[in-house]
Chain A
Amino acid sequence: MAMNGKGYLEASSLPVKEFDGIIVGGGGSGLMAGLQLAQSGMNTAVVSKVFPTRSHTVSAQGGITCAIASADPNDDWRWHMYDTVKGSDFIGDQDSIEYMCQEGPATVFELENMGLPFSRTEEGKIYQRAFGGQSKDYGKGGQAERTCAAADRTGHALLHTLYQANIKAGTNFLSEWFAVDLVLNDSKQVTGVIAFEIESGEAYFLKAKATVLATGGAGRIYKSTTNALINTGDGTGMALRAGLAVQDMEMWQFHPTGIHGAGTLVTEGCRGEGGYLINKDGERFMERYAPNAKDLASRDVVARSMMLEIIEGRGCGPEKDHCFLKLDHLGAELLHKRLPGITELSKTFAHVDPADHPIPVVPTCHYAMGGIPTNVHGQVLTQQADGSDKVVDGLYAAGEAACVSVHGGNRLGGNSLLDLVVFGRSAGLHIEDSFKQGIGISEPTNENINESLKNINRVNSSLEGENSPKIKKDLQEVMQMSFGVFRSEENMKQGIEEINTIRERSEGLHLADKSSKFNTARVEALELLNLLEVAEATAICAYERKESRGAHSRDDFPERDDENWLKHSIYFKGSKEVSKRDVNFRPKIVQAFQPFTRTY
């Protein structure tokens, strides 16, 4: 049904495409789930708003962390688990972390077998480099080298390899299709999504017994971010509008090394290869903040240290508003071999050759630890009135859109690619298994479908009001000012008020261009509505979590409060209230790691 002019979409005349499973998102987790389902012979479609290799996984640089025991034959997945739990500031779910760290090696070798061009060691094994927050022997054995790398283009290599494997498996792609909203039936089971083909502007009900949200991050809620322009939290927005819960939305990672002014990422692998940060006096200041791990402390620690240097007047440049990442001492040969992409990016966006000059860097919004809560099988969970978990039938989530939660309050570098592939696959496996046993999802009524068309109909029929670009800019400005690395009650309160005003303005959002074919203004208007949901959830959760933990750091509550906040935060759009959910301390194989004070 073509979207043209001010016409309304109606369930009764909306064409339906039916699949066994649909996956929304063509990045690492979506392609991994897609591959699993295609190989199992199910009628699957991967729905992606961009051609799959344009997904943001392509930008991942440093690598995929996993105890494959290549750099160190004695490496152990349990050490990786310990690091991840500690890195999460103890609100990562230990059953999920255990699953990821243990399943990781098989998945990484599978990717290699698929063709991923990993860099190699002298013995012909997969090359592994040091990354932040990594240790041997449960923090007692010094720095580990556990991040498997394809130079500094690991995400690109991984995404292209997965796309290629999907071509081989014959996966069905709906490329450049935009998913708008979930369709729930009367029993609140998910029955598919409303989506349109961007090129033609034709809208459909994509019906499926299993729907996977693999829609990635939402870094574009901030003005300055390493994220692609497409990272607008579409799946998270869809889940919130469907009345489902989101978890730990206040937990946003600020990557220590975004290029000053441009926001583009410079991998932590630079520090893993021996680079380090300096202030205006040329001091390697991380020695003061993290005497042991120094520049390879975990990201939240390094980002805060950099901000303190800047706040205390030791920043670099005329405005003293950034730090320098020094790499020249590593030599041109190593930079060419191990960090060729960084050399390119640095020349393009910072106008410096890192072989000669340090790169100007500043902490930049990078990754959402929070998202749609799931169990280890990728099944989406929501919270019932009595606080207990409930599986949402028919719905799965994986990757950055999900919160399984392996990252808790702070993600370790190299763990996102591992999260994508491990849980993309586990979702696929669970769907495959459920199909064999038979899935009972009842039909949605026309009324149900019309409910899910409300959002897009509102945008399509708007007659006057504000365009989306200005509203988006103002939203990004508020998030940058009030919900950055350091947060304070006063500032956040004001931020929430400003978001309220922006929400009111968004009610009058006007799509001036009503054309049907490849209407990018329509896509951007719908993306803005998703950004707004994510931003508001972030703001309210940040305000409510009255402690400092992981990436969430408050001036008024500077300490971690395990008594009250060793918990996930849970947020619903309807009530705009925050409740708590227990963190999992019940891994299956190892003993749970109990909280202690984090130092690096």
Chain B
Amino acid sequence: MNSIAAEQLKTLKISIYRYDPDVGNKPYMQSLDIDIPKDKDIMVLDALQIAKEVDPTISFRRSCREGVCGSDGMNINGKNGLGCITPLSEAVKGNKLELRPLPGLPVVKDLIVDMTQFVDQYKKIQPYLITEKVNDGKEIPQTIEDRDKLDGLYECIMCGCCSTACPSFWWNPDKFLGPAALLQAYRFISDSRDVATEDRLDQLEDAFSVFRCHGIMNCVSVCPKGLNPNKAINEIKKMLIKRAV
């Protein structure tokens, strides 16, 4: 922020979770006073970039800085969200901003978590269209109404905010698929072009994959894209129950 005059700045107390595996010491919270613009409502990611100018060793992921790539999911003053689209006016409480890694996943360094388990669960649901279409150089027709069924499902950016806010995922991250993967499972179940619905349901039919969701709804309250994984999970549950009776 070197181009901004001092009188246009104010101080923000930022507290960042630090863990350096190279050093191997215990994690701690680092407090920094950073200068931020007085009259502009910057994003949490902008504040973090300013903090990194003060201490270049602070590590976090970031890419698109507009809420579509899903890199910078983090725990912001106790709530999971994306740093790049969370304005300080919304996040900061009592001039304090506390940033921690997404909960429930192993921490690699500072705000960077190991997403392997999250991605593995996603891969389990066969996250691709299964059709019997032979390549004839044409599209598979789909009505506007059928396409509308994918809205609210396909927009997931795989940031991990929902699954890492879910107590059921914290307890059974290997067996409960978690809200993100289940939202995608329902995205393909709902697609009129997909022919593998029964197959997909077969694979979800156990005590853990879906049914460990107890409707706590944290996923819904944190999703930065305004999606509703809980609703998708309930729809899957209904389909499974309907099949069983």
Contact = CB atoms under 8 A, between A and B. Distances in A.
Interface string A511-537: 011011111110000000000000000
A348 B85 contact: yes
Contact of B144 (A55, A56, A122): A122
Contacts of B66: 59, 264-265, 345, 348-349
Contacts of B59: 518-520
Interface stretch (B150-158, B211-219, B228-236): B150-158
A463 interface: no
Interface string B190-210: 010110000000000000000
B135 A348 contact: no
B2 interface: yes
A58 B68 contact: yes
Interface in A335-385: 341, 344-345, 348-349
A59 B22 contact: no
Given A53-B157, A120-B143, A113 B150 contact: no
A115 interface: yes
Interface string A110-126: 10111101111111111
B60 A167 contact: no
Given A59-B68, A124-B143, A513-B57, A160 B108 contact: no
Nearest to A524: B56
Q: How large is the interface on A (under 10, 10 to 19, 20 to 34, 35 or more residues)?
A: 35 or more
A50 B139 contact: no
A120 B128 contact: no
B143 A518 contact: no
A212 interface: no
Nearest to A60: B68
Contacts of B109: 517-518
Given A117-B147, A160-B154, A229 B62 contact: yes
Contacts of B62: 229
Interface in B114-139: 115, 119, 123, 126-129, 131, 133, 135, 137-139
**Which of B22, B87, B140, B146 has the most chain A CB within a 10 Å cutoff?**
B22
Contacts of A164: 127-129
Interface in A483-541: 512-513, 515-521
Contact of B68 (A109, A156, A516): A156
A156 B157 contact: yes
Interface in B61-88: 61-71, 85, 87
Nearest to B156: A160
A348 B142 contact: no
Nearest to B45: A229
B174 interface: no
B53 interface: yes
Contacts of B61: 50, 54
Contacts of B154: 117, 150, 157, 160
A450 to B, nearest CB: 26
A165 B137 contact: no
A51 B65 CA distance: 15
A124 B150 CA distance: 15
Contact of B137 (A109, A114, A228): A109
30 contacts: A51-B71, A51-B115, A54-B69, A54-B71, A55-B69, A56-B63, A58-B157, A59-B68, A105-B137, A109-B139, A110-B135, A112-B140, A114-B129, A115-B193, A121-B144, A122-B144, A156-B68, A156-B157, A160-B154, A164-B127, A168-B126, A228-B63, A341-B68, A348-B85, A469-B56, A515-B57, A517-B108, A518-B108, A518-B109, A521-B56
Interface of B: 2, 20-22, 52-53, 56-57, 59-71, 85, 87, 108-110, 112, 115, 119, 123, 126-129, 131, 133, 135, 137-144, 146-147, 150-151, 154-155, 157-158, 188, 191, 193-194
Given A113-B135, A515-B22, 15 more contacts: A51-B158, A54-B69, A59-B66, A59-B69, A112-B140, A120-B143, A150-B154, A264-B65, A265-B66, A349-B66, A469-B56, A515-B20, A518-B110, A518-B112, A520-B60
